[in-house]
Amino acid sequence: MTALRLVLLAVAVAGAVLRPYSLPSFVAPVVCSLIAIATGATTLHGAGHDLRPLVDPLAFLLAAIPLAVLLDRLGYFEELASTLAGRSRIVGGMWVLAAATVAVLNLDAAVVLLTPLYVRVANRKGLSPRFLGFQPVILALLASSFLPVSNLTNLIAVARYGVGPLSFFEHLGVPGLVACAVGFLCYRASASVADGRVLVSPPGMPSAAVLLSPAAGCPPTPQRSRKSALLIGSVVVALVLVGFVVGPSFGVSEWEIALAADVVLMAVVRQVPFRRIPWGTALVAAGLGVLAGAAVEGLPLAALFHGSGPVAELRIAAATAAGANVANNLPALLVALPFAGSAHGCALWPTLLGVNLGPSLLVTGSLASLLWAESMRNLGCPVHARQFFRVGLRVGLPATAAALAALLLLAPAFRC
């Protein structure tokens, strides 16, 4: 039965990532979950038990992406980008904007909305659309550990272990800042705008000089500039951030705060973004949650998470990062999470660091990376898997290593 559970999980992950016959990504996870129940690999009671910790995180996902969409329709991101694009340090300013958006509004929402915006800004400024377009997906990994709302994996961990936003920032705030800083230095060093070495293109791809041209296949999309959007959007985002931090102390969930902000913005923009609610992504997460919960019963992973100290934390982070790259970070987290509360809770933080920052080498490593790759294709700026790997090797990997070093250095302060 263990073998069947692992096969079903593998088929579900492959189907969600590869989408054979152009099927929606949720088809394979949902079908495999139903097969698991029908064959006895899991039970309805077991499936319900595995889905229970996902209810609040998925509710937040369903509310957060419409929130980001409404801010976009308000003109908030466009106005922010226009302000940043008018300055000399455009690359650094856009980096900070992507990091803040990921941290406050969730990484999936960030890549969906910021990727087209960054491509437009790149064309206006004569930069490579692929160069600037990489920023949202890089920050979707490096900046996704600051708050519980930054990543679906964080919310799932909160639902299981009850850790709050202050604990997140205490344990992963400094490693996250280190990751973003080191990532930016590596990003600039490996892709200098000044000398035209934007990306190392594999055979068959345009040269770096061509990529620098505004006419490199990504036409700019003119947008109206609404100055009032900056004020209204900033007030809403500030209130939402305060709510995310203090709300749980008063029994108010993150998804309820996001939903309240949705209602306010829908009244302002007079639109209801029903079509942008990510039902498919929620079904992917639910299906993988059922399968991962069933598979973990037969996996001897307890030894991997046993012990404490720098060696144990390094082992945990490396293992979960490898698992996230190979099998996608969501199932990797769901498989590891039952064991992550060992060593007085210290295993939780390297686990989250591994699944959040680790999947930077393979584009299939996270749902956000897949959403980003699809956006870049739709914009006429396809990025080959080899390009993603090279950027991950030069930017994501050093940043992850630096973040892990910061986590290990800080561990004694938390008795880990």
Q: What is the residue range of 91's domain?
A: 2-414
CB atoms within 10 A of CB 369: 25
- Report the C-alpha dihedral over residues 342, 348, 350, 351, rounded to 10 degrees: 100
- pLDDT over 80 at 177, yes or no: yes
- Residue 303 burial (CB < 10 Å; 0-12/13-18/19+)? exposed
Residues 6 or more apart in contact with residue 67 via CB below 8 angstroms: 105, 109, 240, 258, 261, 262, 265
- pLDDT over 60 at 205, yes or no: no
Share of the chain above pLDDT 70, in %: 87
Mean pLDDT, rounded, for 289-306: 77
- pLDDT over 90 at 75, yes or no: no
Whole-number mean pLDDT of the chain?
A: 82
Domain count of the fold of the chain? 1
SS3 call for 272: coil
Would you place residue 68 in the very low, low, confident or very high pLDDT band (cuts 50, 70, 90)? confident
Mean pLDDT, rounded, for 302-325: 82
Residues 6 or more apart in contact with residue 307 via CB below 8 angstroms: 343
- pLDDT over 50 at 377, yes or no: yes
CB atoms within 10 A of CB 181: 16
Q: What is the pTM of this model?
A: 0.78
Tell me the pLDDT tens digit for each residue of 298-313: 677 766 777 677 888 8
* Cα three-residue angle 54-48-148, rounded to 5 degrees: 10
